[in-house]
A and B are shown apart, each in its own frame.
Chain A
């Protein structure tokens, strides 16, 4: 199962919004995934396959293994869908290989 975190400062605003958007997209793509909303201070990047967040936080996350999706415009669901589909295909490739 794909593990994804959505991250913001307070853990109640953009991370919640991004969580709902990501779940809608993943459900539409029939991908089994667990999406968790987190605030930046309690995030463990290594626990996730991908992290969705604003650029301001993306720069603070120190992780080479985890893919980071930077959302400058958090309402841009088309961009989020493209990026998530990329993550899905990468993860599938890794699991098969």
Chain B
């Protein structure tokens, strides 16, 4: 369930950032704060973004920063933050971004359930719209946890 991954130390609402780099750093810091990754993982996320480009903006307004599994990942983790002011990541169609969901994985398989829980959440347009305007993490967590058993991927 998505609520196993998104908790009060891995969610932030209406963060102000001035660049895509800063947005990625903040989303990665949540993975560090929740004990899922070491600070080096944030560097790896930025390297993946610089090397492979804007593909991390996987849907309109949604960026999903991540890096390959490695020693900087302590356990699978997910974070979610909303941006007060939308930021351009350089994607031709999906810019600007106002929701950033970072994740870390320990291998190529074991985080699949987490990823599909995230997809099921992001496919819900009604929830997306409400999360984007939510003013507090408490409000976001409430939206995330609503009818989770009914969501499917």
Contacts and interface: CB of A to CB of B under 8 A. Distances in A.
B153 A73 contact: no
Given A56-B52, A56-B53, A16 B58 contact: no
Contacts of A9: 48, 51-53, 55-56
B103 interface: yes
The residue in B52, B66, B67 that gathers the most chain A C-beta atoms within 10 A of its C-beta is: B52
Nearest to A12: B105
Contact of A73 (B53, B59, B103, B111): B59
Nearest to A53: B55
Interface in A1-25: 8-14, 16-17, 20-21
A37 interface: yes
Contacts of B112: 16, 20
Interface stretch (B17-25, B114-122, B133-141): B114-122
A57 B55 CA distance: 8
A14 B64 contact: yes
Interface string A64-85: 0000000011111100000000
B54 A56 contact: yes
Interface in A23-59: 37, 39-40, 54-57
B34 interface: no
Nearest to A8: B55
A72 B52 contact: no
Nearest to B125: A75
B94 interface: yes
Nearest to A37: B108
5 contacts: A11-B108, A13-B66, A72-B93, A73-B58, A73-B59
8 nearest A-B pairs in the assembled complex, by CB-CB distance: A9-B52, A54-B55, A74-B58, A10-B68, A56-B55, A75-B59, A72-B93, A56-B53
